[in-house]
Amino acid sequence: MTCLPRLFAAPALALGLALAAPLPGLAADTLALETAVSAAELSDKKQTKAGLYITASEAGDVLAARDDVLLLDVRSPEETMLIGYPTAADANVPFKLINPAHELNAKKGSYKMMDNPGFVPAVKAMLEEADPAAVVVMCRSGSRSAAAVNTLTKAGVDIPLYSMIDGFEGDKNDAGRRVVNGWKNADLDWTYKVTEGLLQGVE
C-alpha cells in the first residue's frame, strides 16, 4: 500500500497546465520549482543528468505550498528509524540497503551498502499511482539522491526529478559534524516515529 496522504490532499497540477497565477514555490515562466542552486557550485557526485537541484530549505517551502510535489526519501530504513525523516516525506524507497553481512568499508569508516533491487520498480509504481508534477529526492547529504535520480532517469522516468543537494542531515563542517545545512538544520518538521506504509520497495 502506497503512503501518499499529502499528495492526494488536493488535485494534482500537471506541469503543462496553464496557471491563472503562479503558485508559491513555482517559477511563473518555466513552471519549474524555484531554486537558487547552481550546478557549477556542486561537486561531481552531487550532479545529475536531469540537472535539477533544490536545497532542503527551498524544498520545505515548496512542499508546504504544493500538494502535487512528492518528497521521496531514498535512505535506508535504519536511517529513517534512528536518525529521523521529514514528516513531509511521501515514502521511503531505499536506493541502497545496508549489507546484512556488515562488511566494513575501512576508507569511509562505515559498513558497506548494496543496491536495492526493488528501488526502480517501487518508485515507478508509486509515480504511476500518484502522478506528481515533480519529485524531490532526498538522502543524507545529496550524493545518493543524485545517484538515485540518475538511475531513475536511465530507467525512463520522465517526471522532473530534483535532487536535494544537502539532504536530511546536511554537509559536514571542518570538525566532521553535519551541522551546516540539510532538512534537520533548517528547522523543518521531522520525526523518529516510523509510520505504517512509509517504507516501499523492500522485501
Tens digit of each residue's pLDDT (9 = 90 or more) over 48-95: 999 999 999 999 999 999 999 999 999 999 999 999 999 999 999 999
* Prediction pTM value: 0.85
State the chain's maximal CA–CA distance in angstroms: 56
Per-residue confidence (pLDDT) for residue 33, from 0 to 100 = 84
Residue 72: strand pairing partners: 91, 137
Left (φ > 0), alpha (ψ -120 to 50) or beta: where does 167 sit?
Answer: left
- Domains in the chain (CATH in brackets) are 23-191 (3.40.250.10)
Angle, CA of 179, 184 and 190, to the nearest 5° = 160
What are the E-state strand segments in 124-184?
Answer: 134-138, 161-164
Between 142 and 8, residue with greater pLDDT: 142
Q: Tell me how far apart the alpha carbons of residues 30 and 28 are, in angstroms, rounded to a whole number.
A: 6
Cβ-count burial 163-186 (b if 16+ within 10 Å, e if not): bbbbbbbbbeeeeeebeebbbbbb
